[in-house]
Amino acid sequence: MRRTITGFSNPTVKFLRSLRDKKHRRREGRFLAEGLRLLTDARETGRLPEMLVMAQGRETHPLLDELERAVAAAGGEILEMPGDILAKVTGKDNPQAVCGVFAEFDTSLASVDRAASPIWLVAQAMRDPGNLGTMLRTGDAVGAGGLILLDDCVDPFSVEAVRASMGAIFTQAVVQARWEEFITWLRADDGQGGGQLVAASLRDAVPYRGAPYAAPCFIMVGNESRGLPEEYELACDLRVTMPMNGRADSLNAAVAGAVLAYEVLAGLDKV
Amino acid sequence: MRRTITGFSNPTVKFLRSLRDKKHRRREGRFLAEGLRLLTDARETGRLPEMLVMAQGRETHPLLDELERAVAAAGGEILEMPGDILAKVTGKDNPQAVCGVFAEFDTSLASVDRAASPIWLVAQAMRDPGNLGTMLRTGDAVGAGGLILLDDCVDPFSVEAVRASMGAIFTQAVVQARWEEFITWLRADDGQGGGQLVAASLRDAVPYRGAPYAAPCFIMVGNESRGLPEEYELACDLRVTMPMNGRADSLNAAVAGAVLAYEVLAGLDKV
């Protein structure tokens, strides 16, 4: 059954708006995803929103009808509201006609089977939600298992990160861990086959092109301003350099991760 | 001589704030760049701001002193203002302690010498200033000559694009052109050696890895949502595919451009 909301001061609107804030997402264990495409991607991976929110006066779409039926059948809630209220919920002037509330996933290292994929992406202290979402999207494209977020990264469940992931938030595993936890897990001889930790570096590094990558390969990029801490670089199994022919001597973190990931993909395919 | 500004309603503050708006940038032919690092990069490439704006109470820095002397020697204007006014100018809560006003560059195709570099990046209808700035930064890293913006792209002189470029706005040529102009220029037999137009595509494409790239190579990416128009793909000299092993079958436009650019760089180096 659909419920219609007409006022900005409705408690459900307040709840939805609160999910734009990390503190509230954490407390509720819920996050927002916008747009029919994203919600359809989610459904195809077996994830349905607990609450489906649609703008009044939207265009009808067969995929939206299917989605609504699936959410209702799963016992979820269906809401309708005016477009201007939905715009306040998503914080976008030009909101998509639909959004959904999802339960946050388990983001512990224990939830991850490293043998499930030859490539994993690792980001340390990544601060930009667009970069984080872009890394999830790149991970999906190269067939990575997921994205491991080390230390104080921006929230992967923020509206901006979810948006930039273009649905990959639903296809990639997302892990949140401190460095010590991660490196202990990576090095633990738990029968999962270990893993090769790789980063771009200038420290006794080999050319990234054709370097001896080995699965499961964990490709690590550092913070947007500071790069990786020295200790993290030194703990890598393989340090690689990428050509820097310009003045600035740096790449966007998500771009560096993607160029490396495609090189690793090509390298592993040759074996 | 330094001039001190104390009020929000000062006409110079209004002028500076107006530069956050594309219409005003176009009318004034001026744009804003923030941060000592960016301004130092600009100076090293021979570009000085016409106006240097510094926050009162900033920390002193030898590079800032040098910059101030250089701007003054070139007849530029030096301003000081409280940090909260500077924050309104740059639109950032946590502004850098310095920004500068630069004259916009010539962005015509006629300003470009295609033989100056083996790689050029081309973006069509790119809408995200972060993506645009990231492409400039990638161009700098691979030693590209510049970025050619086709059709209705976001303004390369927006504060956000300049910021994301990390200084590459000063090292890369930036061209703005319509498709018809560009393709006519590219194909013109003007003794500049033509050029190879390359795009990622699914249309009779060859694997991007080891494809027969040739300098000067123009790597074209399409709009973030719609990709490239069919006509533009068909006009390419080389269409390449990149592995897509996930569900979403797409990459961020700036990421796709970077992965291709590094592949082209490696391919051209082998010749």
Reported ipTM: the value is 0.92
Question: Can you give the pLDDT at residue A93?
Answer: 67
Answer with the residue of higher pLDDT: B199 or B88. Answer: B199
**End-to-end Cα, chain B, rounded Å:** 55
| Residues of chain A positioned with their CB less than 8 A from the CB of B248 | 41, 137, 140-141, 166-168, 171
CB pairs under 8 A between A and B: 118
Q: CA-CA distance, A36 to A166, in Å (whole number)?
A: 11
Q: Which of A127, A166, A245 to mutate to test the interface with B (most CBs of B within 10 A)?
A: A245
Question: Can you give the pLDDT at residue A204?
Answer: 87
Strand blocks (E) in A30-181: 30-34, 51-55, 77-81, 98-103, 119-124, 146-150, 173-177
| Residues of chain A positioned with their CB less than 8 A from the CB of B164 | 252
Q: Which of A94, A242, A259, A270 to mutate to test the interface with B (most CBs of B within 10 A)?
A: A259
Q: Which of B39, B262, B263, B268 to mutate to test the interface with A (most CBs of A within 10 A)?
A: B262
Residue B127, chain A, CB below 8 Å: the answer is: no
Q: CA-CA distance, A244 to A205, in Å (whole number)?
A: 14
Indicate the pLDDT class of residue A191, thresholds 50, 70 and 90: low
Write the residue in A41, A140, A246 that is nearest to B141 by C-beta. A246
Mean pLDDT of chain A: 93
Question: Can you give the pLDDT at residue B96?
Answer: 73
* B243:A141 CB<8 A: yes
Question: Can you give the pLDDT at residue B79?
Answer: 95
**What is the percent of chain A where pLDDT is above 70?**
96
Residue B80, chain A, CB below 8 Å: the answer is: no
Answer with the residue of higher pLDDT: B94 or B43. Answer: B43
Question: Can you give the pLDDT at residue B249?
Answer: 76
pLDDT by residue (tens digit) across B191-218? 666 899 999 998 889 999 999 999 999 9
Q: Which of B112, B106, B36 is nearest to B67 (CA)?
A: B36
Beta bridge partners of B227: B223
Q: CA-CA distance, B153 to B124, in Å (whole number)?
A: 7
Question: Can you give the pLDDT at residue B2?
Answer: 87
Indicate the pLDDT class of residue A91, thresholds 50, 70 and 90: confident
* B255:A167 CB<8 A: no
Is the model's pLDDT at B190 over the cut of 70? Answer: no
Indicate the pLDDT class of residue A203, thresholds 50, 70 and 90: confident
Is the model's pLDDT at A271 over the cut of 60? Answer: no
Query: Domain boundaries in chain A?
Result: 2-103, 109-270
Is the model's pLDDT at A220 over the cut of 70? Answer: yes
Question: Can you give the pLDDT at residue B192?
Answer: 66
| Residues of chain A positioned with their CB less than 8 A from the CB of B251 | 137-138, 141, 258
A238-241 and A206-207 strand pairing: parallel
Token representation of residue A85: 């209220």
Answer with the residue of higher pLDDT: A3 or A270. Answer: A3
| Residues of chain B positioned with their CB less than 8 A from the CB of A171 | 246-248
- The CATH fold assigned to B2-103 is 60s Ribosomal Protein L30; Chain: A; (3.30.1330)
Residue length of chain B = 271
Is the model's pLDDT at B69 over the cut of 90? Answer: yes
B159-170 mean pLDDT: 94
How far away is chain B from the Cα of A10, in angstroms, using its nearest Cα? 31
Is the model's pLDDT at A193 over the cut of 70? Answer: no
Question: 3-state class of A213 per DSSP?
Answer: coil
Residue A265, chain B, CB below 8 Å: the answer is: yes
Question: Can you give the pLDDT at residue A95?
Answer: 65
Using CA coordinates, name the residue in chain A closest to B260.
Answer: A259
Question: Can you give the pLDDT at residue B218?
Answer: 98
Is the model's pLDDT at A82 over the cut of 70? Answer: yes
Answer with the residue of higher pLDDT: A202 or A260. Answer: A260
CA atoms within 13 A on the CB side of A148: 28
Is the model's pLDDT at B162 over the cut of 90? Answer: yes
| Residues of chain B positioned with their CB less than 8 A from the CB of A251 | 137-138, 141, 258
Is the model's pLDDT at B271 over the cut of 60? Answer: no
pLDDT by residue (tens digit) across B35-68? 998 999 999 999 999 999 999 988 889 999 999 9
Residue A164, chain B, CB below 8 Å: the answer is: yes
How many other CB atoms are found less than 10 A from the CB of residue B208? Answer: 24
B250-269 mean pLDDT: 95
B89-106 mean pLDDT: 84
Q: Which of A86, A88, A91, A7 is nearest to A52 (CA)?
A: A86
Residue A251, chain B, CB below 8 Å: the answer is: yes
Using CA coordinates, name the residue in chain A closest to B37.
Answer: A248
How far away is chain B from the Cα of A180, in angstroms, using its nearest Cα? 30
* B141:A167 CB<8 A: no
Residue A167, chain B, CB below 8 Å: the answer is: yes
Write the residue in B130, B251, B262 that is nearest to A141 by C-beta. B251
pLDDT by residue (tens digit) across A242-263? 999 988 778 999 999 999 999 9
Beta bridge partners of A30: A103
A138-146 mean pLDDT: 97
| Residues of chain A positioned with their CB less than 8 A from the CB of B266 | 209
Mean pLDDT of chain B: 93
How many other CB atoms are found less than 10 A from the CB of residue A174? Answer: 24
B185-189 mean pLDDT: 88
B124-136 mean pLDDT: 97
* B139:A246 CB<8 A: yes
Residue B140, chain A, CB below 8 Å: the answer is: yes
**What is the CATH code of the structural domain delimited by A109-270?**
3.40.1280.10
Question: 3-state class of A238 per DSSP?
Answer: strand
Token representation of residue A263: 């090189």
* Whether this model's pTM surpasses 0.80: yes
Q: Secondary structure of chain B: what % helix, strand, coil (to 5)?
A: 40, 20, 40
A171-195 mean pLDDT: 89
Answer with the residue of higher pLDDT: B43 or A89. Answer: B43
Write the residue in A164, A166, A251 that is nearest to B138 by C-beta. A251
* B140:A41 CB<8 A: no
* B140:A248 CB<8 A: yes
